[in-house]
Chain A
């Protein structure tokens, strides 16, 4: 399913602390890569005249997988395209990303998906797969031709950006999805409850006067989709959870034997609706930032595995679209290039989340949800590695992004933890 540039590089990474949560490895060792494949792990490995990367004091981990990226291609290549989006991913330590289908046109036909997969082979700096829409045009009326889409390379199905309004159609998608053999991911939002909402409904929206987007607008839809999936005995992946009640629904379903999975974004893990007091359009996203109790519930759920994946929901927007009053601004923020640093700074450093847990939720967790091979540091595995400097501090600035867009909520924030090198599919995709 993944398509992108491949490599067969010969590299030795010397002296890094290897942290691979999936293999329970945490030791200072050398790693030799022959022809893009991990060939040896050990102490003082023979360099074999390979290129040597001196990684003393750095952490070497399985590279990240982002299950939720808006590449804006086709249709809004001024905001992002395959090349820029995957370059941004490489800079963020990712070796694979999944692109969402809410483009213009929507990814709802095998022809469009097939042509994007072709382009990705030549243009993608890191391997890339596309999700296709559940309904034609994401209009919520007719199912897409899921089997043909899967054959054309679709990695899964979602109407992300909006919910599948009709419960009956959601049920059909779950049933028919069996034939396509790909996961279904749901954007949970009850539109009649979120209508007119610009931020979380609560004390801050009451004071500022914004139309509220209540937590229950998400959680009722999470409950519905989990119930349908359980009834049909099908897995379902719940996108970008934001509310405590939604997490509780997912936890209860999992305890009841559901195979449902969930993801959470860095901004929902780090910020609350208090940030909206700035009226900065770069803290406007869907679902919105919620209250402190919600944020704490998300962190706890990521820690205990109820939420299996960190997803950036990288949503690039043109500068002029965000340089408007908050209410007029579109939803969405970028995140590929800052996700690890944001979460390392805000969660790992203060002791709220272990480093190996974070690494697992950014790599093996999301890979598992979509049935992708999980990145590993193991002999025989393709080189999908990220080298991290946990001491380096930096400040994201508009000019420094590889993404075409700079609508980041972290502009000017001091972060700790930086990606030094990303190898994706045996090829050095980023070196900083």
Chain B
């Protein structure tokens, strides 16, 4: 491995090193603020290094191209946000706090490996680094019932899905004799009589593993429970970083291999996308818990992303990348509000916790409104342009059925977003808890909320710079 290789891997190395440093620091002297500062410094360093990293293939496992760097930057930025949010949240709760940051850093590393992997081995490695850290993160408040339940549920299902994935990889290897994405693509493109009896089950099993991580229907069962049970900042992390890393890999793999244009694979993804859009949006209608609503909403959002992915080509892939950025911003924003509102004993997840919020904390309510409207795809927000981009990509490819379904289901989705928004603006009854003073949130969280809102509106009004970056990144995929 040369110096140039190391320079290329700088973002990954920085995050890995930071996790060790934070762990050692905690071993010497426990200090919550110190752990946070070290984490933030490490993540900020990793983010900056994204702009300087050398572009090259490092071993057969990882490639550092502008596509990988783009998603690494996104993942690191999201982890930075989650760390900031977690500080105020953890400070108000029992137990050790420093390990949280170690776990966050490790999970981030896993997601970054996913974004850069070109080989099924690095795929599996990244996935496991991410998942193992997530088991601990989800049940981080281990003295409480809900987080532990969620953690165990996630552990069992994630382990099972990893097993499926591994088996799928084995079948693929048996059929093709390679685990490199590029080689796989080459063989698929050139070989006439493929061994479909091994190949198709292999692909199906791999899709199962990916579908679980992305919470696509029918692999979505864990989502509402884990979203509800996990501490709010961790939920934000699961919803963004973990799915983002996996989606980056999915996009890269299929963009390169073109496997999703095979009729059976295309059909499979179409069914999954349509089912996710319908199930996510319809089931969210039945919920009264804000975290569960957001869980089902994220299932639907993944369905929209899958539509862009299905369309493929430069425009579909760019649309997916743009929507993913928008999804990161609005999901982090929504969970940031949940985090800020959460009380010491439990997270603010009931609709009642939000009743009349606008009349008590107008700024917070407006931020939440902006995030929800963005999830619903209303103009002035990043979510609108993201959806616009997907529909445009669909129209360019003539995928009318998919985008009509997208339009119909997102109108259904509007209904439950509005339900939450309505609650925010209801007049509080005179005597209830509405008049209880809410503790001021930590200034870090205020900063996060303000920054996310600004980014949300900025992307919704002037997306040109981001589009340029994305198109360059997608261009590097070839």
Q: Are A and B subunits of one complex?
A: no
Which positions in B face A, CB cutoff 8 Å? none
